[in-house]
């Protein structure tokens, strides 16, 4: 289940879920690029996640699919307005998966894929990941595969520096402690990419970044 961008044991996962993007920028970005409010949204591998709760709050009619890879669904043709993959699904661009998304999307429907973007405090902890480099390049799988990208400048926000240090050390060991020691405020910068595409490949929404606020 893609509650978070990487797996953690339940107690740590709950602490991160309460700190991740408390400003709600990811949900606002999804609604701007969908929209998702009041629409039929197929959420891939995200049942029970904060994003699922946010979709419900926006009045989206959310359908859940628990099988992220390879993406296949039993939904009938043209039955969804949005197909939304969050972290664990659409890890790259596979022609068969994109064709399956197009099959279930209605005309004008949107495929939205959330991944980490890097160039932030979190990526200093996690080290090399394809999300931080190849996937975001102009010749990478998404941008060369008919997608556009919107980058959201988000944060992990904790109560104080002590709580920040405790969480990062418990969750990520020495790498987390090293980054925590450089922080002057109880939050980490966290950049999230939403790769977006209209059914058939016509990307109709501008690639504006959502600035911190």
Which tokens hold the place of 120?
């932030």
Q: Which residues contact 187 (CB under 8 A, 6 or more apart)?
A: 155, 156, 157, 158, 164
Token match 């949204």: residue?
Answer: 41
Statement: 10-198 belongs to CATH 2.30.110: no
Which tokens hold the place of 43?
């959420």
Q: What is the dihedral of CA 195, 191, 68, 9, to 10 degrees?
A: 180
- DSSP letter (8 states) at residue 201: S
210: confidence class by pLDDT, cuts 50, 70, 90: very low
Q: In this predicted model, what pLDDT tens digit does every residue of 35-71 receive, in sequence order?
A: 999 999 999 988 878 899 999 999 999 999 887 789 9
Looking at the predicted structure, is the pLDDT value of residue 207 above 90? Answer: no
Residue spans per domain, the chain? 10-198
Which tokens hold the place of 88?
């664990």
Q: In this predicted model, what pLDDT tens digit does every residue of 77-125 receive, in sequence order?
A: 999 999 999 998 999 999 999 999 999 999 999 999 999 999 999 999 9
Task: Evaluate whether 187 touches 155 at the Cβ level (below 8 Å).
Answer: yes
């Amino acid at each position: 289940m893609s509650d978070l961008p990487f797996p953690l044991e339940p107690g740590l996962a709950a602490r991160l879920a309460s700190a991740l993007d408390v400003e709600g920028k990811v949900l606002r970005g999804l609604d701007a690029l969908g929209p998702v409010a009041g629409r039929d949204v197929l959420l891939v591998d995200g049942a029970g996640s904060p994003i699922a709760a946010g979709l419900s709050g926006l009045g989206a009619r959310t359908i859940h699919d628990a099988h992220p890879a390879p993406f296949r669904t039993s939904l009938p043709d043209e039955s969804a307005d949005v197909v939304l993959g969050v972290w664990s699904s659409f890890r790259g661009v596979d022609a068969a998966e994109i064709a399956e998304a197009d099959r279930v999307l209605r005309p004008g429907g949107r495929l939205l894929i959330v991944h980490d973007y890097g160039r932030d405090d979190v990526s200093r902890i996690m080290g090399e990941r394809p999300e931080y480099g190849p996937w975001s390049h102009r010749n990478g799988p998404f941008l060369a595969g008919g997608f556009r990208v919107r980058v959201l400048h988000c944060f992990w926000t904790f109560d104080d520096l002590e709580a920040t240090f405790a969480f990062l050390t418990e969750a990520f060991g020495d790498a987390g402690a090293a980054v925590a020691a450089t922080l002057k405020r109880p939050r980490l910068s966290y950049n999230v990419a939403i790769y977006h595409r209209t059914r058939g490949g016509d990307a109709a929404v501008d690639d504006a970044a959502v600035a911190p606020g």
